[in-house]
Amino acid sequence: MSTTKTPRVGTSSPTATSNKSAAAGCGLLAAESRAGQRKYYDIELAVAHLHGMLEALSKQRESTSK
């Protein structure tokens, strides 16, 4: 027997969006740290750049939602 989940419509909220951003930020921090530990400097730099972009986007969303 297979079960399929019906996608929820309209369940996204500002809190859900910020939780996703926080989870993505945590993943980026972990990737940045691991790359540094293993001396993958090009990956560490790229992940740091992505982390900065995510922070800028988050701040932009905060300022426009007020």
> Which domain range does residue 56 map to?
15-65
Whether residue 5 lies inside any domain: the answer is no
pLDDT at 1 over 70: no
Whether residue 7 lies inside any domain: the answer is no
What are the helix (H) ranges across the chain? 14-37, 41-65
Whether residue 36 lies inside any domain: the answer is yes
**How many CA atoms are closer than 13 Å to the CA of 14, on its beta-carbon side?**
7
Whether residue 53 lies inside any domain: the answer is yes
Number of domains in the chain: 1
Q: What percent of the chain has pLDDT over 70?
A: 68
Whether residue 10 lies inside any domain: the answer is no
CA 56, 37, 51: angle at the middle one, nearest 5?
Answer: 5
pLDDT in tens, 8-40: 555 555 555 567 767 777 888 899 999 999 999
In the DSSP assignment, the letter for residue 13 is -
Q: How many angstroms separate the CA atoms of 24 and 10, rounded?
A: 21
Region 55-64: mean pLDDT is 88
pTM score above 0.75 = no
Residue 3 confidence (pLDDT): 60
Region 41-54: mean pLDDT is 93
Whether residue 28 lies inside any domain: the answer is yes
